[in-house]
Structure 1
Amino acid sequence: MSEITVRPFEPKDADGVIAVILPIQREEFGFSITAEDQPDLSVIPDFYQTGKGGFWVAEKDGKIVGTIGLKDIGNDQATLRKMFVAAAARGREHGTAARLLEQLFAHATETGLSEIFLGTTERFLAAHRFYEKHGFAQVDKADLPEAFLFMKVDTRFYKRGV
């Protein structure tokens, strides 16, 4: 069984990232969304990998199986975005999501971030449990920083100190 590795995004990963994210959004979550509806995906280095931000991929056998982004929103705060893991790489036995999150937390600590925020939808109960298990606490929309990047589908919000 080959190992899953987590590494920073490189431009050659662009198609692999979209190949993980779009099917999950469309088929699993039922969102009518395209890559064009998500302009950040076509400019990952410029959008995420600036300031204290970053973007990482999980790879297995040369194939992208997971993604996670951290968008610097200023004031030593950042937003966690684009956390997706392909169905075949999910679960505790793979540890893909936890490894992605560990990489993001290590980066946040190294760069001096103080808080990480995220938005998700009410329906993603497994995601809520995962985030809470990893130190995120639910917050009201009104308590988010002004610079927080809202997605249309976000209805539940979390915050974690670094």
Structure 2
Amino acid sequence: MSAILAASLAGAAGLLALVGVAIFLIVLFLRHRRRASDSSESSSSGPAQPEQQGARCMTLEELSSATRNFSNVNLIGHGMFGEVYKGLLQDGTIVAIKKRHSPLSHEFIQEVNYLSSIRHRNLVNLLGYCQENGMQMLVYEYVPNGSVSTHLHGAELPTIK
């Protein structure tokens, strides 16, 4: 009986060692992959370009034309991100263009990648982006009838000075 017990313990120890080696190899592989990914991002020159997941790269000229050179007539809102303009693209699509105030950053690239991967019936789709001449813009499908904030919270409240 003790020979069977010894064989069982030896088998269990061998299996445990095999699982430990497999976990060690998986961790090494994941670390190597993450390092390769980090180094490829940092080695690119200039601002990175978002991965294509649905959002189209648009030119500043295209968006200027769509908004009549970002005319105040087309200004439909503003917030922490910047101004929002209503625009008409060459193909007849009506869009909302968020023109960002802050300087170029990698967060913009991450935001474009994230927003272009999201699809939900209750969210406005990101159609495109522009990163040109030190400006960053997001192009969304246009939804009439005001902002979500106005619908949720009512008309803009006066600020306390």
- Shorter-chain TM-score: which interval? under 0.3
TM, length-normalised to structure 1: 0.23
Q: Which has the higher helix share?
A: 2
Higher-Rg structure is: 2
